[in-house]
Amino acid sequence: MILARIQKLSVAIPENLAEMLEEEIIFGRIKSQERLTEEMVAERYGVSRSPVREALRLLERDGLVVREARRGIWVSPMSQRDFDEIYMCRIPLEGLIARQAAESDHPDKRAEYDTLIADLKEAQAKNDVRQFFIADVRGSFIHYTLAQNKTLMRLLAGLEKQALRYRFHAYEQNPKIIQLSLEDTTRICEAIIEGDGEAAQKLTEKLIHEIWQTMRTGILDSFGRG
Partner DNA sequence: CGACACCATAATGTATACAATATACACGTC
Partner DNA sequence: GACGTGTATATTGTATACATTATGGTGTCG
Q: Which does 149 bind (CB under 5 to 8 A by kind): its own copies, DNA, none?
A: its own copies
Residue 56 exposed, middle or buried by CB count within 10 Å (0-12, 13-18, 19+)? buried
- Please state, in angstroms and rounded to a whole number, the distance separating the CA atoms of residues 128 and 206: 26
**Is residue 58 a contact partner of residue 18, using CB atoms and an 8 Å limit?**
yes
Binding segment (CB under 7 A) for DNA, from list 11-19, 105-113, 122-130, 163-171: 11-19
Binding of its own copies by 129 (CB under 8 A): no
Give how far the C-alpha of residue 35 lies from the chain's centroid of Cα atoms, to the nearest Å: 22
| 24, 28, 53, 128: which one binds its own copies (CB under 8 A) | 53
Q: Which does 5 bind (CB under 5 to 8 A by kind): its own copies, DNA, none?
A: none
Q: How far apart are the first and last CA of the chain?
A: 52
DSSP-derived secondary structure letter, 37:
-
Q: Where are the alpha helices (DSSP H) in 62-196?
A: 80-103, 109-125, 129-147, 150-173, 176-194
Task: Build a one-symbol-per-residue string for 38-77: x at contacts with DNA by CB under 7 A, - elsewhere.
Answer: xx-------xxxxx-xx------------x-xxxxx----
**Of 58 and 129, which has the nearer Cβ to its own copies?**
58
**Of 76 and 124, which has the nearer Cβ to its own copies?**
76
Task: Build a one-symbol-per-residue string for 167-206: x at contacts with its own copies by CB under 8 A, - elsewhere.
Answer: ----------------------------------------
- How many helices (DSSP H) and strands (DSSP E) are in the chain? 10, 3
**Of 68 and 105, which has the nearer Cβ to DNA?**
68
- Sheet containing strand 65-68, edge to edge, reads 35-36, 72-75, 65-68
DSSP-derived secondary structure letter, 70:
T
- Which residues sit at the interface with DNA, rule CB under 7 A? 11-14, 36-39, 47-51, 53-54, 67, 69-73
Q: Which residues bind its own copies (CB under 8 A)?
A: 11-12, 53-54, 57-58, 61, 63, 69-70, 82, 85-86, 88-89, 92-93, 95-96, 149-152, 154-155, 158-159, 162
